[in-house]
Amino acid sequence: MSKSNILFIINPISGGKNKLKIPALIDAHLDRSKYNPNFSFTEYVGHASEIAEEAASKNFDIIVAVGGDGTINEIATKVMQQNKILGIIPFGSGNGLARFLKIPMKTVAAIKVINNCNVEVIDTARFNDKCFFNMAGMGFDAHISSVFAGNKSRGLTGYLKLGLTEVLNYKPQVYQLSIDGVEYERKAFVVSIANSSQYGNNAHIAPQASVVDGLLDVCVVKEFPMYKLPVLAYEMLSARTDRSKIVEIIKGKNIKIKRSQDDAIHIDGEPFFMGKELDISIKPLSLNIIAPNYES
């Protein structure tokens, strides 16, 4: 059997962890009878996308994102366009998609998953002109990811500190939602569009979401008094928001959202600024990805 050319694209800043020793660790544990490995470190925002585009259009069969959901987003967009295969070694702050797919958080165990090379095909989604793979949205979570992007301290603690400071000042917005042609008006603290069930760190906003069902879960976090924040946190961490009084979840394929002003959105946790009208849709079974056989 011929060996596959595999490229590991390493984001040196994701998750706030040093990754200088990662190529040596991968070298030590990767199955050399299956793979010819190469390594690249990203140097700026958007660099992973450039490296992945070049590699996917050439002779690389598998491109592995060594980072979090933002790094995965840049790489998976190009992997999908060229119908290649994505791998993940989780090294983010939240690792939402990796956790959902049951890819181990420990690096050596994640390399073993790559050695097993079980390829699943999963849904992806479009958000106006961008792709997303795990979660996108607007409201407080988009606001927080735009503030977090300008913040030097990454990792979970940095996220929590910022969240607590910002949450007290954030005002809910009114959204007009059209989900597969049915209209809703909702005043919401957050509107999240979920492909997988979680933001990361096992915070499940859409416990019933699946990446193979051809559907997105629109999660509306309604206005709630701040003393109920621990209730919402408990519901997310115990994957019970589908029974919550604070969260409403509506499944659909084609989602149009209107809001009163141009504002922040986030795509897989990375902040962008978009207009009042947002158009989101599912692309069923469109990305090849190495993952444990998580259904069994």
Ligand X SMILES: Nc1ncnc2c1ncn2[C@@H]1O[C@H](COP(=O)(O)OP(=O)(O)OP(=O)(O)O)[C@@H](O)[C@H]1O
**Which residues, at least 6 apart from 150, have a Cβ–Cβ distance to it below 8 Å?**
none
Tokens (6 digits) for 210: 């699946």
User: At 17, phi and psi to the nearest 5?
Assistant: -115, 145
User: Interface with ligand X by CB under 6 A: which range of 93-101, 174-182, 183-191, 257-265?
Assistant: 93-101
Among 100, 87, 73, 94, residue whose Cα is nearest residue 209 = 100
Binding to ligand X (CB under 6 A): which residues in 63-92?
Answer: 67-71, 74, 92
Exactly one of 43, 54, 180, 277 binds ligand X (CB under 6 A); that residue is 43
Among 68, 79, 73, 86, residue whose Cα is nearest residue 10 = 68
In order of 13, 158, 164, 254, 266, the CA distances from 153 in angstroms are 10, 6, 15, 36, 19
Exactly one of 5, 13, 39, 82 binds ligand X (CB under 6 A); that residue is 13
Alpha helices in 63-206 (DSSP H): 69-81, 96-100, 107-116, 140-149, 155-167
- By the rule CB under 6 A, 269 interacts with ligand X: yes
Instruction: Pick the closer one to ligand X by CB: 9 or 179.
Output: 9
Exactly one of 270, 274, 282, 289 binds ligand X (CB under 6 A); that residue is 270
- By the rule CB under 6 A, 137 interacts with ligand X: no
Exactly one of 6, 15, 51, 78 binds ligand X (CB under 6 A); that residue is 15
Q: What's the CA gap between 42 and 219, in Å, rounded?
A: 33
Q: What's the CA gap between 149 and 271, in Å, rounded?
A: 7
Least separation in angstroms between residue 199's CB and ligand X is 8
* Contact flags string 141-180 toward ligand X, x per CB under 6 A: -------------x--------------------------
Q: What's the CA gap between 172 and 190, in Å, rounded?
A: 8
Number of residues that bind ligand X (CB under 6 A): 25
- By the rule CB under 6 A, 271 interacts with ligand X: no
Give the chain's length: 296
- By the rule CB under 6 A, 53 interacts with ligand X: no
* Contact flags string 94-133 toward ligand X, x per CB under 6 A: xx--------------------------------------
**Measured at the alpha carbon of residue 195, what is the angle toward residues 193 and 201, in degrees to the nearest 5?**
90
Q: What's the CA gap between 107 and 179, in Å, rounded?
A: 39
Exactly one of 37, 200, 207, 252 binds ligand X (CB under 6 A); that residue is 200
Least separation in angstroms between residue 131's CB and ligand X is 14
- By the rule CB under 6 A, 195 interacts with ligand X: no
Number of H helices, E strands in the chain: 8, 15
- By the rule CB under 6 A, 44 interacts with ligand X: yes
Exactly one of 8, 9, 11, 291 binds ligand X (CB under 6 A); that residue is 11
* Sites of contact with ligand X (CB under 6 A): 11-15, 42-45, 47-48, 67-71, 74, 92-95, 154, 200, 269-270
